[in-house]
Amino acid sequence: MQPIITSGIDRRKLLSALAVLPALTGLPLIASAQAQTAASENALPSWNDGPAKQGIVDFVRVTTEKGSPNFVAPEERIATFDQDGTLWVEHPMYSQVLLKKPEPKTVEPFKTVISGDREAMAKFTMKDLEMILAATLSGMSVDEFNVEARKWLETARDPRWKRPYTELIYQPMVEVLRYLRDNGYKTYIVTGGGQDFVRVYSQRVYGIPPEQVVGTAGGTKYEYGKDGKPFLTKEPKLLLNDNNAGKPEGIHLMVGRRPYAAFGNSTGDREMLEWTGAGAGARLMMLLLHDDAIREYAYGPAAGLPDSKVGTFTPELHDEAKKKNWTVISMKNDWKRIFSF
Amino acid sequence: MQPIITSGIDRRKLLSALAVLPALTGLPLIASAQAQTAASENALPSWNDGPAKQGIVDFVRVTTEKGSPNFVAPEERIATFDQDGTLWVEHPMYSQVLLKKPEPKTVEPFKTVISGDREAMAKFTMKDLEMILAATLSGMSVDEFNVEARKWLETARDPRWKRPYTELIYQPMVEVLRYLRDNGYKTYIVTGGGQDFVRVYSQRVYGIPPEQVVGTAGGTKYEYGKDGKPFLTKEPKLLLNDNNAGKPEGIHLMVGRRPYAAFGNSTGDREMLEWTGAGAGARLMMLLLHDDAIREYAYGPAAGLPDSKVGTFTPELHDEAKKKNWTVISMKNDWKRIFSF
């Protein structure tokens, strides 16, 4: 996965070098518009031509081209991405794998966690989540948590693809992340998943540093070990439930700016897209539709299937997307391939 | 203030351009070590030679020079700065200026807020802070708050210098911020002040974007106006009391990395410096001592004065600084000038 990051950095370096070159050397520079078109073509090789790809390329052009009426200042360029079902395959809630204490598996909310019913989990109250937090992580130091999370990521395998979960990331989305970064966008993950968990691998897997991961987050407590050294312990107190309305609230808390682009795939991302779209100027809102039963999954009513246990792309969300001009990405039609392997 | 930011960005662009130039043009490049030494000399013109300036320059050298045993990867370069009394003159708590409702000024915690007794305010409990939050900001939309804060910043004047508060920033510290950024450090403000308040001017004044401001933060609520447009309202719930232990806890929540450098000036910054110093490798911990009664203020027991109402640089903190090799910056001796005017 390392090359993703390295190549992202090099390209950025190169671009900023090119931007300054003429001033330093007086050399003629390739016409920038021409270069940009070529760059767009090369930047999204896993995308088929169509409205989704075109929407991304157009958005980048109108927000970054000098003189464009929708030009966005570089420091304002924020793009947010849901993770589960948007950047990688939806997995059973990982907090269960970190369950330290044997909790009664027939009692709520643990029963729902064990069942893997994502729709039911999306309806957890703050109290439910605090109970789960308390059972799974409370009293663990942040360092211990990181060790456990890394261990799980190294050993766990997806039952269908027999690969580590961090390899089940969508190659077309990795290209979008990189393409936006190459055009000055700061890319953020805004996930209902645990913030500290995602931060363990976000840099390596997506090229997104920990400080650009907003997720469901609990409090910590500053304490001292016997050696007098300070450490942080995870507390049962929930600070942010980063789903639904919690997404714009979390973005405000952690970023303090409204995104210009937002990507999601379920009702849990609705408010984030709505918040993004309510800003002035050109905004990009996209929803990924899982309609590819052969290469990945087809699920949810919007894919013409009865409601399933994963994903919540409801008919209402589909209608809203149409009404508000949010672009629906069809996994089946818009993507040449799903994974890098 | 704009030139601060612009010049910071240009310099970074130039540096990354220089780094790539030889590969592109084959031109010989000025020896980088030589360039770095010259850059350090020019980067801190408001500092007198001495252990404080030397400490900063040495830290940057050992953490950024290729091949150095203490080399820090660019993405790990995090530096955190307290604001009040570290980046700018300590002011009476600004939340009082935003008091919307007439609160009983003889009742705690409002009595203490009005008195301007910072030491007493530093001891506020979460409950005290929530009461203040509820009285001052609760029910205000984030947009309304930003308007109010901007209005206050434009009109309010410091009674001694008769200038806007945002001009009372310490020029030597602005140079440190810029110098660290030019060497790949991400600079963060970590303040006991209100996160949303500081974010209003952090980019313009310090070149620090809102997403790199960690402060005392309340929750928000996602709501809809009569026109159906969503907005965020400030809630009376406090998420982070960003003082003392709240500083490392806030850094973990918002950044997810341990800083390599931390700057403060009072007991409220003790845990942040301690947390920074507990990391491996070269770390820079600095405390600013207000010992310059003529050009700014001399206050606190560490400056040889009886305890005063602003600042809490106690003898215990001074002892700890000595024991742990934290550098004490003497405003009087280490700084050629205090302000840019």
pLDDT digits (tens, 9 = 90+) for B51-78: 999 999 999 999 999 999 999 999 999 9
For B249, the closest of A199, A232, A275 (CB atoms) is: A232
First-to-final CA distance of chain B: 12
Number of H helices and E strands in chain A, helices first, is 14, 7
Q: What percent of chain A has pLDDT over 70?
A: 81
Q: Which residues of B touch A232 (CB under 8 A)?
A: 248-249, 252
Percent of chain B surpassing pLDDT 90: 62
Which of A288-292, A299-303, B87-91, B145-149 has the weakest average pLDDT? A299-303
- Mean pLDDT across the stretch A281-309? 85
Chain A positions touching chain B (beta carbons under 8 Å): 13-14, 16-17, 19-21, 24-25, 75, 78, 142, 186, 195-196, 199, 203, 209-211, 213, 217, 219-222, 229-230, 232, 239-240, 245, 248-249, 252-257, 271, 274-275, 278
Residues of A in contact with B197 (CB under 8 A): none
Instruction: Give the mean model confidence (pLDDT) for residues A118-146.
Output: 78
How far, CA to CA in Å, does A188 sit from each of A16, A79, A199, A207, A211?
21, 6, 11, 10, 9
Instruction: Report the distance separating Cα B187 and Cα B209, nearest Å.
Output: 9
Distances (CA, A) of B87 to A26, A171, A247, B172, B263: 40, 44, 32, 9, 9
The closest of B52, B74, B45, B321 to B182, measured between CA atoms, is B74
Range name among A173-182, A246-255, B24-33, B323-332 with the lowest pLDDT average: B24-33
Give buried/exposed letters for B46-71 (b at 16+ CB in 10 A, else e).
bbeeeebbebbbebbbbbbeeeeeee
Report yes or no: B210 and B233 within 8 Å, Cβ to Cβ.
no
Look at residue A105 in the predicted model and tell me its pLDDT. 72
Which chain A residues have a beta carbon less than 8 Å from that of B78? 211
Of A184, A187, A217, the closest CA to residue A60 belongs to A184
CA distance B239 to B244: 15
State the smallest CA–CA distance between residue A47 and chain B in angstroms.
30
Angle between helices A246-254 and A270-277 (to 10 degrees): 60
* Per-state percent for chain B, helix, strand, coil, to nearest 5: 45, 15, 35
- DSSP class of residue B138 equals T
What per-residue confidence (pLDDT) applies to A326? 97
For residue B39, is pLDDT > 60? Answer: yes
> Does residue A21 surpass a pLDDT of 70?
no
How distant is the Cα of A105 from the closest Cα of chain B, in angstroms? 30
In which band, very low, low, confident or very high, does the pLDDT at B92 lie, cut at 50, 70 and 90? Answer: low
> Which positions in chain B touch A78 (Cβ < 8 Å)?
211
Residues linked to residue A230 through DSSP beta bridges, in sequence order: A224
Rounded to a whole number of angstroms, the distance from the CA of B151 to the nearest CA of chain A is 19
State the pLDDT confidence band at B286, using cuts at 50, 70 and 90: very high
Question: Could you report the per-residue pLDDT of A34-77, keeping only the tens digit for each?
Answer: 555 566 668 999 999 999 999 999 999 999 999 999 999 999 99
- Indicate if the pLDDT at residue B97 is higher than 70: no
- The CA distance from B49 to the nearest CA of chain A, in Å, is 33
Output the pLDDT for position B221.
97
Q: pLDDT digits over A273-288, tens only?
A: 999 999 999 999 999 9
Strand partners, A216: A194
How many residue pairs bridge chain A and chain B with CB atoms within 8 Å of each other? 110
3-state secondary structure of B185: coil
Closest Cβ–Cβ partner in A13, A25, A274 for B19: A13
When the pLDDT of each residue in chain B is averaged and rounded to a whole number, the result is: 84
Across A89-118, b (16+ Cβ under 10 Å) vs e yields bbbbbbbbbbbeeebeeeeebbebbeeebb
The larger pLDDT score, comparing residue B282 to residue A12, is at: B282
- Each as own residue / partner, the long-range contacts of residues B13-18 (CB below 8 Å, 24 or more positions apart, any chain) are B13/A16, B13/A19, B13/A20, B14/A20, B15/B182, B16/A13, B16/A16, B16/A17, B17/A16, B17/A17, B17/A19, B17/A20, B17/A21, B17/A24
Residue B245 has pLDDT above 90, yes or no: yes
On whether the CB atoms of residues A231 and B248 are closer than 8 A, the answer is no
Q: For B193, phi and psi rounded to 5 degrees? A: -70, 170
**In this predicted structure, what is the pLDDT of residue B32?**
54
Contact between residue B211 and residue B218 where contact means Cβ atoms under 8 Å apart: no
Residue A324 is encoded by which pair of tokens? 């508000």
How does residue A29 score in pLDDT terms, banded at 50, 70 and 90? Answer: very low
A24:B20 CB<8 A: no
Q: What H or E segment, with its residue span, contains residue A190? A: strand A186-194
Residue A327 pLDDT > 60 = yes
Given an 8 Å threshold on Cβ–Cβ distance, is A217 in contact with B16?
Answer: no
Question: Is the predicted pLDDT of residue A1 greater than 60, yes or no?
Answer: no
In a mutational test of the A interface, the residue from B202, B233, B253, B270 whose CB has the highest number of chain A CBs within 10 Å is: B253
d(CA A86, CA B42): 47
Contacts of residue B176, defined as CB under 8 A and 6 or more positions apart, other chains included, come to B44, B56, B263
This complex has an ipTM of: 0.84
